[in-house]
Every structure is written in C-alpha cells, then in structure tokens.
Structure 1
Amino acid sequence: MRKRLLLGLLTVSLVACGLTGVGHNTSANASATTDKFISTMSTPVKTVANQYKLYPSVMMAQAALESAWGTSQLSLDANNYFGIKGSYNGASVSMKTAEYNSSGQLYYTTANFKKYPSINASMTDNAELLRNGTAWDPNYYSGTWRENAATYEAAANALTGTYATAPNYGASLINLIQTYGFASLDGSSSATTTTKKPTVDPKKVDYYTGANGQTATLSSKYKSYAIYNHIKGSTYKATRYSWLKIGGWQDRPVWIDARGHKVKAKTNWYRVRFSKQTTSKKYWVYSKTLTFPKTSYADYKKKGEVSTTSYPVFNHVFNSAYIAKQLTTTKDLAKNAVTIDKKATHVQSGITTTWYRIKDGKVDGWVDSQAISKLS
C-alpha cells in the first residue's frame, strides 16, 4: 500500500516547493489558486488532523503537494487529495503515476486510485490510513503521530520511504509548511486532541479477498463463538447457525478465501467453507474460532535473484492469518534482481517453510524461499 506521486503532479509539486533547482526560490506571496486552496482546506484539515492526533500542517502540505493545490486531475475527478491507491466503496479511477524504484530511479506506470464522494472523505481516509497502518503493520506510520513526533518536521520526514517513494518527500512537505505558514494550523491541536476522538462507523468493515487453497482449523474454543452468513454487526443482516447443524469438531479443517476487518472494534473475521470445492456454502466466523499455522516475522536485509521457474508472488505469506492474494508471478517480474527486507518462518502440520518479502521497484510481495535462487 505504499503511496506514489501522481504523474503530472511531480513537476508541479516540486515547482511549488521550490525544489526544482538551486537557483529557484519559492515566493511567499501565494497565488489566487493557493489562496483559495488554503482558505477552503484549512478548517477541514484542522478538524480531521486534530481528530486523529496528527499534525494539521503536515496534512495541509500533503494535500497541496499531492493535488497540486487542488488542480490535479485526480483531485478534480475523484476528490482524491492524497493520491491514495485502491478503491473507496468500490469506486476508483485509473491514472498514470510517477514512482521511484529501490535504486531511487524514476519510472512511470498506471494504477487505480480511490474516488471519494467529498473532500472530507478523502482527508478522513488519509488520516485513518496513517493511524491504522497497513494490514501487516498497524504501526507502519506511527512516526507521524503527534505522541511520537515532537515536531511537524519529524512527522513529515517519517512519511519518506513509507507513505511515498520520493526520496525528498519529507523535505518537500517541510518546505511547503515553512513557505506558507502552515505551522499556524497546529496551534490549537493539543487542546483539541484531548477531547475529540475519531468517529468511526461501528458497522464499517474492510474486506480482503485471497487466493483459494488457504486453510486453518477449528480451534479448541470454536464452540464459544457462533457461525454466521455475514459478519455480525456489519451492514448486512447476519443469520446465526448452530454448530450442531453444521457439524464441528476441534481441528476440523476449513478453507478460507476472505478476511473482514471491523474497523471500530479492530477485530478480524474470516469467510470459510468446509470443503475444498469453491462452490461449497460459505460462512463467516470470528478469528478466535480458528487456529492458523504459526508465522513469525523478522527484518532481513538481503539482495537476491528470482528463480527462472514461475512462482506466485503474494501480498502476504500464503496460509497466514492475513489471507494472501496473488499479485503476480516471479516470471512476470521485470528483472531478476530484487531486494529483501523481511523474512517469515511458517510452520504448518510440522512442516517449516521460509518466505521472503521482495521488492523490484514495481512489486512488493512475499515469495517462498525456493523462488530465490541467490542471496547476497
């Protein structure tokens, strides 16, 4: 889920920040466009940033940089002021984007970006991303939180290499904050954040689908939890079923193809079936109903080459609690050389396998160790 700068915004944003060359200086006199942008965005930025205990100055700078002061096609067509990829309630738009690979080289590609119904929805989604992190690390953006970042500079710099691939991303934000006096937006944040809490729809569920063939077993406590046709407490009406009717026993295998994360409750649910056949009836169960294979993670800084044999590349370790979705294959990677930053040890039915998280500048994903032919 790492963010990239939109194609077309990159040059505009760098010009706005005065970072296109040593001889270029940013004027402190904001244009009519910047004046309108600041006037429109200041109040909602302060409200949302304070609500999530973030720096309003950093959020304002991000919105200005990512949307080219609200003139980018993405902000005009999709109310997307932060360049966040994916879909929002199923809505998205396809745009070209400029990205940086692991060597710091710029390249261009096309990606889907979220389409929002309003500016406020865009801000709130960005704030939730920074507060909730990624599926594999809820603290991924914790460096931007006010309780962890003593200054807006620290929060802005924490976005480099995490939120954005541009190596000067934090410096660009700081330049904007100082040029346009966005630090004044932070003045009342401390008092506000002690009394306001994020408003999250208790029925909101983020869904993640995965590849078929992933399994778990019913836990020793499965009878303590019910089984439903939908996630209990979601927007769908959930019907409860009896285990006596369905048939259950400890260690009974189940096949899983989706995970639902209840945002407010911060709990996970899984869509299961009791047959390998994908046409079998599917149910939803709470996470404690299941026992997953044990997966342990560790930092692992290496260089490698992918095998010439085609192996699947997943967004998570296959058969882990995250529920993995296939992104591509090693055969389809643009080049064989990759960097590795994480290692996972996976134990299932007494069999231990090793997984690596690889990056080739375009894809971040997990592969079985057998997919790596060389390590250095």
Structure 2
Amino acid sequence: MRKQWMVGLLTVGLVVCGLSGAGHTRVQASTTTDSFINHMSSPVKKVADQYKLYPSVMMAQAALESGWGTSQLSTSANNYFGIKGAYNGASVTMSTAEYNENGQLYYTQAAFKKYPDATASMTDNAQLLRNGTAWNANYYAGTWRENAPTYVAAANALTGTYATAPNYGASLINLIQTYKFYSLDSVPVPSKKPTSNASAVKYYFGADNQTATLGSKYKSYAVYNHVKGSKYKATNYGWSKVGGWQGRPVWIDARGYKVSTKTNWYRIRFSKQTTAKKYWVYSSALSFPKTTYSSYKKTVKLVGSAYPVYNHVFNSTYIAKQLTTTKALVNQSVKIDDKATHIQSGITTTWYRIHGGSINGWVSSLAVKK
C-alpha cells in the first residue's frame, strides 16, 4: 500500500475515536450497499470522468476502503480513502494503528483530512492517481484511461502501487462485477464509426528495474515521447538529442503492442532513477537478453524465503509485472508446466511457471526446493 497512506487506510475498523458536532453539510455514509451506491455514483462519475479515470474503479475503491461508508472517517469527515493530513486546514484527530521499525503494532493519535463533501474526497484521490508521487509523476499511470484499455487493467494497476496486497486488484474487480459498477464507465457512442484501428495500442506495465541495451541498428529508429502512430501526438527527439551508442543500457517499465502492425514498442529511460525522462522506441532498436522456453512438468515445493512471482519471466521481452510472492505457498506442493532459460550478460538463470492455489506465474529456480 502507498507508504504515505498506509496507516490512514488501516483506520477502516481500527479508528476508535470519533468527532461530534460537525457543522458541514455532507453526503452521509450509508449502512447499506444500495444507499451507498445511490449517494456516491454522482460524485464518483463526475470526478473520475474529469480526471480521465475509471468511475467503476473509483467506486470500488471507495466502497472497499470505507467499508461501504461505515468507517468512522467517512461518517465524521467524508474521508473515504483514509487520507492523513489536513484539507484546507480542516482535519479530525483519531486513534489509529501504526507499525514501528520492528514490525510491532502500536496505537497513536493522527490527523486525517476532513472534507466538506464526498466530491472533495474523490477529487483528492483522483489528483493523487493523476499526479503520482513526489519521486515519480507516472507512478499510477497504469490507472489512466489512455493507458488502461479496460477497468480490469486499471484495477490491476493499483496492485503493487496503491496497495501491496496481492489480491487488491482482484477485490476491486469482484466488487465492480458483482455490483455492476462498470455501468458507470459508459461513454457516448461516437457519431462516426472509426475508419481505422491504427491508433489502437495495448499497454502492459511492469517492474521498473528491467533492462535491455541499444542494439546494433538502434540509429535506424527514432526516439519518441509516445508510440508512433498511436492516438497521441508523437514527437521525434532523435538520438543526437538524447545520446546513444550500441550496448548502452536502458531501463524499461512498459510495453506497447500496436494492434494494426502487430509490433511492440517499449518505454525506456537512460538512468536507473525512476524519475528520469522516459521515451518510447520500436522493439528493433533494442537488444534483449535471450529467453528460451520449453515444456517442463513437475510437482515441487518452494523454499522458505519469499520470492517474487511475475506474470512473465523477469527481463524478458514481455516486460514482467510482479503479481505476489511465494510466501503464501511455502512448503506447499505446486505444479510446474513450463521452463525458461534466461541468458543475460553471460549469466544463465532458470525460471519456472508455477500453479498453486490461486497463484499462477513465473518464479526463479532459486524459489524451488532442489
């Protein structure tokens, strides 16, 4: 979960002090899902559409974080996301749970933002998703409608960024589908049927520390601020402006699949720092580590340490996103149905695709007991 909001979100069910005599006119939190949905649909849709986010995802977040509007923060301060601090100088002080550096739980008094109404709470949350963090303005870019083709992609993009819980995105999707929040995402039907799908690009976001190098033919391809030919205006920077040489390392955090040409583009930066300027390049401009796949069926157990589980082999051309860790499956039998040999900088590593309970993904061979 976001470090700066982690404690605030724990207030759902943990806040033990209240506030009386609040003088603001506000949307009262409901005790039933129907009432909550009726009260919140209008402000959620208004704000989400304004910031080009998915109303369905915002509605699911508000319901999940506030316990359907029953948390003390939502009833006393219209705070539906447990955000700490002050809003235009207004706050409420409540007892909340925190963890010290040793992981021990203790209680302390903290100030939480007090909003005049639900719309203000939604707006504050939307601005966070749009503006990102102090160290990375694009931290939540996976939730933006221009990057996420569906509410499912936007909800999943919150896992590992907005929240560390591995099932956070799945929980939101379950709420959206159960209560049909997706109906809030409806957009006007275009007056004209598109004549071409040339601008269609499917984006896949992953861990930001994956690497490749500039290939031998990188100068044959330009550098852009967007995928060339997408619905966004792409500016050609040229290598003379950004610099480059064969073998220069680049860090990658996203892949764009251009539907019309069935080609891949990658979002790169020339520094390990995630705040560095990002560019898009065609796949042929890059040289990736070699990954070879083969069928491999076996039942194994995982070691005691928590290793990351990715949706693809890490540092492969697919761009891997961490789904969870192996901690939940330690000492349990899991099935392997595929194997990958990964060669990077002369170092060979082995990866396995595992299936265990609700966890499916790729892990390093180090996670598997010999």
What is the TM-score normalised by the length of structure 2? 0.50
Higher relative contact order (CA 8 A, sep 6+): 1
What is the TM-score normalised by the length of structure 1? 0.49
